[in-house]
Amino acid sequence: MAKIKNGILLLIILVLALCLRIAGINWDQGQFLHPDERFLNMTIQELSLPSSFTEYLDQAQSPLNPRNFARDFFVYGNFPVSLSRVVSTILEKDGLEEITIVGRALSAIADLLIIPLIFLTILLLEKHSRDQQFAIHPHTKFWASLIYALMVLPIQQSHFFTTDTFLNLFIFTSFYFSLRYFFEKKFINVIVAGIAWGLALSSKITAAFILPLNLILISLNYFKHLKTAINLKKIRKSILLIAATAAIFILSAYLSTRLAAPYMFENPSFWKITPSTEFVNDLKELSTYSDSESWFPPGVQWLNRSAFFGIKNLIIFGLGLVITIFAIVGTYFLIKKISSLFKQKKWSKVSVVFALSLLWLGAFLTYYALQVVQTLRYYLIIYPFIAIISGMGLSHFLRKRKKQALWSSLALVALSVWPLMFISIYFKPHSRVQASEWIYQNIPTQSIILFEYWDDPLPRPLAKYPQQYELVQLPVFDHDSEEKWTEINANLAQADYYILSSNRAWGSIIRTPEKYPQMSHFYQELMANQTDYQLVTEFSSYPSLEYLGINITFNDSWAEEAFTVYDHPQVLIFKKR
């Protein structure tokens, strides 16, 4: 009976999570407004299925290799792209909009599958914490699963077809099976963990982050034997077992990567492990874009940021304050419990797992605090771990309350507020589509409209309106040279409207006057209504509870750029006086 009840509760959480992840799946109304997603789906549309397994593995001949279709710069893993192409072909979906929806559905499913893995992870820890010093409350697995279901960043990333949700799924799958091997010592778990890590690597190269934690988990049992070994023969045996286990993991991962992403390698032969020269060079080039001296447009937003900028966005936008509070409570509880057991010399396997996970999380957060680029999606792989810690914190908090039903209800309401606010952006037309409607209805035909480099021009093409404007691009991210400003001033003089379809340029440049002295000054004057252009209207889509009849709206325009510019950017329309 208990198993049925548990299954029903988990099913309810999964249904809720699925609804949150597919609500408004066509959130941009077919306008392809996420640039990475747009690039990937345009690539997928060009690809086709190979005629044989041999052709599939052949980098130079495979019709599934993006580089065979003039994609000279490709830093993504191949597996999500190939998967979407296969599913789209099976479903006979070949149009760009159809492929986009297929990809988003796959992304949502990938993220959804993390929830039962969180449940199983805590169930495993709960099972092995019985009769030990580290008891886990039976409700923890439900709270942790629910918390992940309600986390805003996973909800948002599920609405995009990028590689991040697949990376997250396979990283956590790899961790789960490494954990199972630590507790159960069955080699099949090492093999599955390796396969999962290979799929993570086939999705995105940053799968490397979880490797140290996985290798430690699958080796820990032998470290214990190494510690108690009393002669050289036993020491050698323990070292050989550690090496053999790690080798099985790496070999499984290699074979998995070879099959899922063969184009990451230079040669189709399984015996030649050299990575693709083009892929390596692309990664090297990508790393230069993150340099503080780079003039690459997306890199400007990271200049003059504090070391805590990424963590601040993680807390306020990615998790929300309520989940953060429970994560802090959970962290405090775990550290206190681990410290107590350490002092008593009563280590258990469960306490070791939590200690290692906390150390890994701390190292991960420290690493990104020291990086120039601290974008929210880079933190996605730690969200399942934070969900578990938050579930521990919430369970610990409720355990000490007398009226648990009341406090549980209050906790549920508190946890739901931020995701319910955020999901509202998918229940209304995209702000750029709203702005485009207004432009077609209010701006005279043949008007000259200015838009900015590295941003989507408006109006967007809408079926019921003909293209009727002259669009002129401003090179706002160029060096502040005389040539740049001669061109900008000439365009400003002849244009009728100036439309900022997001804060991509002005939100970054205005903060970096040392890099863009004239451009930042121009934006300050533009926003202060001190130029020849006057703000006539704006369109925004802030997270809100108004759709539920509650007059609460949260202006999140100050969040990291990528959190708003894809699915709910602020659009500003200026008219020449």
3-class secondary structure for 286-323? HHHHCCCCCCCHHHHCCCCCCCCHHHHHHHHHHHCHHH
Both tokens of 349, joined, read 């396997």
Question: Within a domain: residue 416?
Answer: yes
Question: Within a domain: residue 285?
Answer: no
Above 80 in pLDDT, residue 226?
Answer: no
Degrees to nearest 5, angle at CA 313 with 23 and 24: 10
Query: The whole model's pTM is what?
Result: 0.96
Question: Within a domain: residue 565?
Answer: yes
Question: Within a domain: residue 290?
Answer: no
Question: Within a domain: residue 162?
Answer: yes
Both 467 and 484 in one domain: the answer is yes
To the nearest whole percent, how much of the chain has pLDDT over 90?
86
Average pLDDT over the chain reads 95
Each residue of 235-265: pLDDT tens digit?
788 888 899 999 999 999 999 999 999 999 9
Q: Is 38 exposed, middle or buried (0-12, 13-18, 19+ CB in 10 A)?
A: middle
Question: Within a domain: residue 291?
Answer: no
Both 420 and 437 in one domain: the answer is no
Enclosing H/E stretch for 535:
strand 533-539
Residue 231: which pLDDT band, with cuts at 50, 70 and 90? low
Both 104 and 219 in one domain: the answer is yes
Residue 345: which pLDDT band, with cuts at 50, 70 and 90? confident
Q: What is the Cα gyration radius of the chain?
A: 26
Both 418 and 436 in one domain: the answer is no
What is the rounded distance in angstroms from the CA atom of residue 179 to the CA atom of residue 157?
26
Domain that holds residue 563: 431-576
Both 406 and 456 in one domain: the answer is no
Which of 424, 447, 462 represents a domain boundary (last residue)? 424
Each residue of 509-557: pLDDT tens digit?
999 999 999 999 999 999 999 999 999 999 999 999 999 999 999 999 9
Residue 72: which pLDDT band, with cuts at 50, 70 and 90? confident
Each residue of 287-332: pLDDT tens digit?
888 777 778 999 999 999 999 999 999 999 999 999 999 999 999 9
What is the rounded distance in angstroms from the CA atom of residue 142 to the CA atom of residue 116?
10
Question: Within a domain: residue 292?
Answer: no
Both 225 and 316 in one domain: the answer is yes
Q: How many domains does the chain have?
A: 2
Which of 424, 439, 459 represents a domain boundary (last residue)? 424
Q: Are 180 and 186 in contact (CB under 8 A)?
A: yes
Both 456 and 569 in one domain: the answer is yes
Enclosing H/E stretch for 451:
strand 448-452
Both 456 and 535 in one domain: the answer is yes
Name the most confidently modeled range: 222-236, 335-349, 427-441. 427-441
What is the rounded distance in angstroms from the CA atom of residue 198 to the CA atom of residue 86?
19
Both 468 and 382 in one domain: the answer is no
Both 397 and 488 in one domain: the answer is no
What is the rounded distance in angstroms from the CA atom of residue 434 to the CA atom of residue 414?
31
Residue 96: which pLDDT band, with cuts at 50, 70 and 90? very high
Tallying the residues shown for the chain, one arrives at 577
In this predicted structure, what is the pLDDT of residue 230?
A: 59
> Of 100-109, 156-165, 180-189, 280-289, which gets the smallest average pLDDT?
280-289
Question: Within a domain: residue 288?
Answer: no
Both 301 and 192 in one domain: the answer is yes
Both 23 and 69 in one domain: the answer is yes
